[in-house]
Structure 1
Amino acid sequence: MTVNTASFIDSGLRFTPHNFIVPLDYQHPDKGNINVFAREVSLVDDTADKPWLVYFQGGPGFPSPRLNGNNGWLKRALQDYKVLLLDQRGTGNSTLISHQTLANQTPQQQADYLSHFRADNIVRDAESIRKQFGVKQWAILGQSFGGFCSLTYLSLFPESLSRLFITGGVPSISRHPDDVYQATFKRTREKNQAFFRQFPHAQALCKNIANHLMNNDVYLPNGQRFTVEQFQQIGINFGMSDTFLPTYYHLENALIEVNGETIMRYEFLNEMLMQQGFQTNPIYALLHESIYCQGFSSNWSAHRVRQEHSEFNYLGEESEFYFTGEMVFPWMFEQYECLKPLKEAANLLAEKSDWGKLYDAETLANNSVPVSCAVYADDMFVEMDISRETLALMPNAKAWITNEYEHNGLRADGEHILSKLITMGNHTYHCQHSPQPRTMR
């Protein structure tokens, strides 16, 4: 471990960067090392020896948040913990995965390299850091995919954990991704219907945009041709709170007439490019379906399942328009400028069937670590019924099921949500450690 001396203070918080050298492949350390970055956050005037809480970001393929100020979930966490914000391998200030860093590798080399960037190795990185810190146990807060990582950690190293807090991220531990996408396409359809009920005129606006894209060559500011399929993908925002109205505003400002010709406004095209996170964070597209795979291939699951839901395939003026959601499709590697060089690697990963285990059902069934979860009833990304199926298998797992929040509840009202989960976890812990009542004879 090396400690970066560029620590700083802001809003009464001390931020201390750390860099760790870890194996790319823990089973074969001779394959070389990568760097994993993490940022320690603590209260400046705090003299207490508080335990650690490690934050696992959603994704996959996104770095830990660059938090600004002592607010939200961080404010509540720092009352009880010092916090470690982990840039999962391949993201942020860790050894980066991008079209640039993979450029000199063959497709097979790219696929082989990327296969080491799933939850199992993210967790092994965290475990290596725990040992380097000399910490006996620490707690975890996992948001979305971070919750998936949390259950992987609980499967592999349960003795290293004191508490688990999960928000919007309780996965199936056995289902094929086809089951997941059947559920999420249904949720996405419901979100579309709710959006168009609130904004009836939006259907006509969407069709005007889609028809324009079908009949004209339109290019984004990076030179990439903009298509109906790409436009549909902004529906991923419907899984977050307070996004219907901003989406409508974008739609009503999409087209403009110049010299008698209808064209797309530059600011709309620029906004569409800014929403294409796949360009800057390719792990999300490359490994998204593999987060569900254990001993089987995804074989482009979302693409296949989509064919059973024809309403998502816009065919023109006579069709109704629907946005898609949190799904990855093979055509993305033909259209997105920064994904094109990774097309062959993406196909190899979709065909890969020898993925290792991410969860251990027996270990989870015998779990003694308190697990507190916020499960969102209307979650567009992580299906509530699948989450409940997993939680039913786990002792000491408590779920707060609520329709007050969308998938981004932790970002929207993190102080309240984490406070509730900590209270739930404390109750479980005290029940475990309270004296047992005597049996009267």
Structure 2
Amino acid sequence: MDGLWLIIAVFMIVAILRLPIFLSIILSTVSYALVYPDMPDIALVQTMLSGLDRSAFAAIPYYFLLGSVMSAGGMATRLLRLARALFSWIKGGLAHVNIGTSMLFGGISGSATADASAIGALMIPAMKKDGFTPAYASAVTASSAAIGLLIPPSIPMVLFGLFNNVSVGDLFLAGIVPGVLMAVYLSTAAWWVARKGQHPQAKWSGWREVWQALKSCILVLVLPVLITFSLSTGVATPTEVGAIAVAYAVVISVFVYQDISLGTLMKTICASAAESAQILSIIAVSGGVLWIFANMGAADALINQVAGLQLSPTQLLLVISMMLILAGTVVGPGLLLILVIPPFTALAVSNGIDVLHFGVVAVFSSAVSLVTPPVGILLFLTASQSGASVMAILKEMVPFYIALLLLLMSLIYFPVLSLGIGQLL
């Protein structure tokens, strides 16, 4: 297993130097190939070429572009007005508006970073103006932005489905209730904090304002309905749904709302192409690491150790989720879904765990890495938006960490939360 430690050491060194993740992976693989001759040179090239040799991966750029178009246009502003009308009267005020907007936005964009960028730019200044501390505003934004990893269309769900041969459409449906529950749990935590901190709340704006806000964003809300209907009825594949959703968002933003110019649209396309290229590059170069793991039997050894514990299905799911959360403090959800989770999927299924149930728990566990240091990309993103330090944000994150842990326990012990909609349909 010396080769495994070599890969980990090179990966960590390159990561500390803050080079792109795909470079960390490929340099780790090349280092192994140079030290251990059991890996033919051609294997490295072949695994990179075959890594993306699946047409279903075309869905990923579409969902990145969908999130970018929504961030660049006024869709987030319209969703914010609706969330403010619905939730600002609850004790905690704008914290609930922030969470509600993230739930609505995440149900369309599928990207946590797009959610945090768009919603944070609007909500953090508004929360600061309303008397919330910058650190608390960042904590609410970061934790709620992770909702986008569960509610369809979810890019991590696409990755889990493709790497584990599971229907992406079924995974999308399985993530709806957990995503909504995540908003409920986080909102409950915000309410509890508001009781102690005397956070401001607005007066009920009335049903007239709710109706006006709903009318202003009705065309935006058509998107999640379109996505869910297309996937549940099977009239379109996830890739086709992504293409349709992007075309719809572009038409609405450019020609109906007219809040994106053609020049801005081109910049948005280029930016989303760069974002999707990052994850696609990671997928391509990860093929070499997967080949090495299979050749040295590392994955089998880990699975055998966990299987040797002779746990019940619920206990096994709990142990795997804790391992994923721990691993997520070092690597992001992309690497977890590509390298770590697939071997555990086979173990979970062989122990009687429904693959959709496992997929939701695994994706949620990987989502926690977005708000846990030292990776915690959402922590650093919202910190740059608010001007608060990451340490200050972490202190404010404690009640939201508790909420996320309670939700994880709920998802593990009550499979119906993940499987209910699919069984009903």
Report the TM-score when normalising by structure 1: 0.26
Give the greater-gyration-radius structure (CA): 1
Higher relative contact order (CA 8 A, sep 6+): 2
Choose between structure 1 and 2: higher strand proportion: 1
Choose between structure 1 and 2: higher helix proportion: 2
